[in-house]
Amino acid sequence: MSINRRTFLGAAGLSALAIAGKSSLVVLAQGGQREGATGIQSVTRWAMVIDPRKCQKDQGCTDCIAACDKAHNVPHFTDRAHEVKWIWKEPFGNAFPNQESLYTAEAFKSTPILVFCNHCDKPPCVRVCPTKATWKREDGVVMMDWHRCIGCKYCIVACPYGSRSFNFFDPRPRIKELNPDFPTRTIGVVEKCNFCEERLAKGEQPACVVGCPEKALVFGNLEDPKSEVRQLLRTRFAIRRKPELGTNPEIYYLV
């Protein structure tokens, strides 16, 4: 059968469009569902809800920070340029730069905001890691693999929240109390809060949550409609750090 070139090209183009059009319709149809890291709807999505007002009760209390540092052998450097921190306190204006007003500094003067890795839904640090030493797990935790980290610090550049720290020096001499149940890190790797994934594996709550005497930190599964975090988010208004960046952080601060 004779077919001329123009007709052939027209038919080929239409078939290509039909095939491509079908798969793009399928993807668009999934738009309403929440996607986990792999695109599959996940049954667990860990998140934390923090009530900064409860943190006010004990002025100068650092129990959560101490609990985290002890559980994970976080070293203590006095020079701020070299410090390594997994969880720390920031003034309100530093934690929420776009939500300041003239009066927030006064209101939050004695209420520090606890900040740590937000375990974002769309983490920029994961996107830029050249070795996949950091990745997003299906249950929402942004993990670190210190065996694979090459210390390029690209993730530190990418993180908009400053959650990550680099080990400029050997951390071991600077660890106050060595916890034998968790490894230390070496010089030259980046570390951050890991949502206590080793404790989650055993069904325990993160160290900071357990360490807080006022129960200001609440940890739970967002996919479970009956969890405490969902209850809190249903009944109270919560803000997140820098939401306009599109990283979708999963640490909520009740106001």
Residues in contact with another protein by the rule CB under 8 A: 73, 76, 135, 137, 143, 145-147, 172-181, 183-186, 197, 201
Report, in Å, the least distance between residue 214 CB and another protein. Answer: 29
Nearer to another protein, 135 or 168 (CB): 135
Taking the complex as a whole, the smallest distance from the CB of residue 131 to another protein amounts, in Å, to 12
Phi, psi of 139 (to 5 degrees): -90, 10
Q: How far is the CB of 40 from another protein (least distance, A)?
A: 16
Task: Kindly give the pairing relationship between strand 165-166 and strand 190-191.
Answer: antiparallel
- Cβ of residue 138: shortest distance to another protein, in angstroms? 9
Cα separation, 184 vs 127, in Å, equals 25
Q: Are 143 and 197 in contact (CB under 8 A)?
A: yes
Q: What b/e readout covers 137-154, taking b as 16+ CB neighbours within 10 angstroms?
A: bebbbbbbebeebebbeb
| Least spacing, CB of residue 39 vs another protein, in Å | 18
Cβ contacts of residue 166 below 8 Å, gap of 6+? 84, 151, 153, 156, 188, 189, 190
Q: Shortest gap between Cβ of 129 and another protein (angstroms)? A: 13
Q: Which residue, 106 or 145, has its beta carbon nearer to another protein?
A: 145
191 forms beta bridges with 165
> Which residues, in sequence order, are bridge partners of residue 46?
221
Nearer CB in complex with another protein: 45/137? 137
SS3 string of 103-155?
Answer: CHHHHCCCCCEEEECCCCCCCHHHHHCCCCCEEECCCCCEEECCCCCCCCCHH
Supply the minimum distance, in Å, between the C-beta of residue 147 and another protein: 6
Closest CA to 249 of 241, 135, 42: 241
Nearer to another protein, 162 or 188 (CB): 188
Q: Which two tokens stand for residue 53?
A: 């007002």
Which residue's CB is nearer to another protein, number 102 or number 201? 201
Q: Which is nearer to another protein, 63 or 135 (CB)?
A: 135
Q: Which is nearer to another protein, 59 or 78 (CB)?
A: 78
